[in-house]
Structure 1
Amino acid sequence: MTGKSVPPYLRIAAELRERIAGGELAPGDRVPSTRQIAQEWNVALATATKVLTTLRQEGLVRARPRVGTVVAGAEGDDRAAPESEPKPASATASAAFAEAGGSAAGAADHELTRDRIVRAAIAVADSEGLSALSMRGIAGRLGVAAMSPYRYVNSKDDLVCLMADAAFAELSYPADAPADWRRRLEAGARALWAVHRAHPWLAHLGPLTRPMALPHLIAYSEWMLTALRGLGLAPAMMLDVNVLLYSYVQGTAVHLEREKQAAGDTGLSGEQWMDAQAAAFDALTTSGRYPVFAEVTGSFDAGNGYDLRLDEVFELGLTSMLDGLALRIGGADPGR
């Protein structure tokens, strides 16, 4: 296909691929963000996202936390390349495959296992999010034929289920289970939060109304429901409490992935973004229309402002919910 018959995202990807192959963009250099691509080529953000996803699947670029999307290179070589002869794109892609723990393209498929596929997929999702995940991309990173992973995993949806169960297998509970219901719920919720912190993409799985039948997720529910057993709560109430605490962890963890995505799109850290918004916030707080907001935010010293820490917000919310549950268990009708 040539000319206008080529989809815009493929045309833009080809232009960026040429920049990488020609050395204009060296290993470690930032490539344009989705917003920059949208502005430079006058396309929608969705199209810009497909451009970067295509280049990631080819192993040419990768996401770096708090930096953005950069040209892939050998581990530890995320800096501009010297002004000698530039590496061809194929060499850059091979280095990216090696970084993922696989061999170069053409490796024997008999080395492939389901566990290896799942571990490679988790590594992709941890660093780049679920949107960057594809069966073809995983095959490329592992250096095997494009269709080889399908011998071990039926589809991308099945792969995501395997990834999620492997992640939930990392849930770590106290060796001596607390007898007190509250301490047991705290331990379970904190374990779930730790896993979501390690794998932020977990927060973007299916909705609560469509639960996933995963052994290690059911094991988590078993831990939480055991804490509520014997308190006189109706079965529906027990499940509601389990869902409430799970959704609270999931809802808070969503912002971990969103922050990573925002950092990649804009190239700005959270602190840098807030600095860029300072004038807009100052205009709002000095307008006189929001006196309480102005009073609260104005109470911080210039050099000691408010820092939003999700771990602290999580603990505040968990404590508040369990305080309310304690009142419900102690004084309300458990049968609803």
Structure 2
Amino acid sequence: MTETMRTVRQETLGGIEVLNLTDSPIPAPNSTEILVKTHAAGVNPIDWKIREFGLWLTPPFGVGWDVSGTVVAVSPGENRFKVGDEVFGLPSFPNEAAGYSEYVAAPARHFARKPQSLDHVKAAALPMAGLTAWQALVDGADIQPGQRVLVHAAAGGVGHMAVQIAKARGAYVIGTASAAKHELLRELGADELIDYTSEDFTEAVQDVDVVFDLIGGDYEDRSLRTLRPGGTYIGATNPLALDEIKAKAEALGLRGITVNVAPDHAVLEQLAELAEAGRIRPVVAETFPLQEVRKAHELSESKHTTGKIVLTI
């Protein structure tokens, strides 16, 4: 193994021009950590938001979190993995992980074994989107068989996983998406679809048990009107607005929550089981080699991709 690796870093905040492919020392795994040779890295909207605005991170830093790869080193006493295991995960989020790198060192419990049915590209598309959807719908809303679940932006990265997870839990799934994406969403298990470009979802659907809102803005108040008494609204675009969302929902006899994603090996293992059983599948919109990271961010910022964007490394 060489002593250096290719990695994407940024020294300042800004547009895609601040992303630079550079050489850095390969990290050494600390106690409880493993070192993963990265084969693919998912690109998420939070990546370019961090790049542009920093939010909770201050540059310089490495970019990205979603990864899939092969274990090449294990810290002493860490027994979940061995060298040669193929893994996928959401390492270190929300702290810096530098996932757009040839190697990533992070806690072993932020990873799970990669589903054999998925290649590394599709496995790298799964962690953040799958964990966000699971932690919202299962941990947050505890969706049950037969419940009616409305997913906004159903064809997006998180949305298309939410459709499949809700369906796997036995829910009746309704999605909002442009008409061009309806065929794919039906293949993924959606029972009913609303073309947001020509239909008002508040008129098209009522009496839903759970709304998973991945758009925000005026969708928040409008979505509350579609819920049955006691239903749950999940806001994903602004977790810090919990108090406001909760108050609005309670005034209408509803429950309002928000969701933050966190690494969770137990949920990753459940997602892997669903993938192996053919009950969920990540949809990859496009792949880019690591050196074309700027193009990948440019496409992600368009907000019109179906599924996920992945970097190959």
Normalising by structure 1, report the TM-score. 0.29
The answer to which structure, 1 or 2, has the higher relative contact order (CA under 8 A, 6+ apart) is 2
Give the number of the structure whose alpha-carbon radius of gyration is greater.
Answer: 1
Higher normalized helix content (fraction of residues): 1
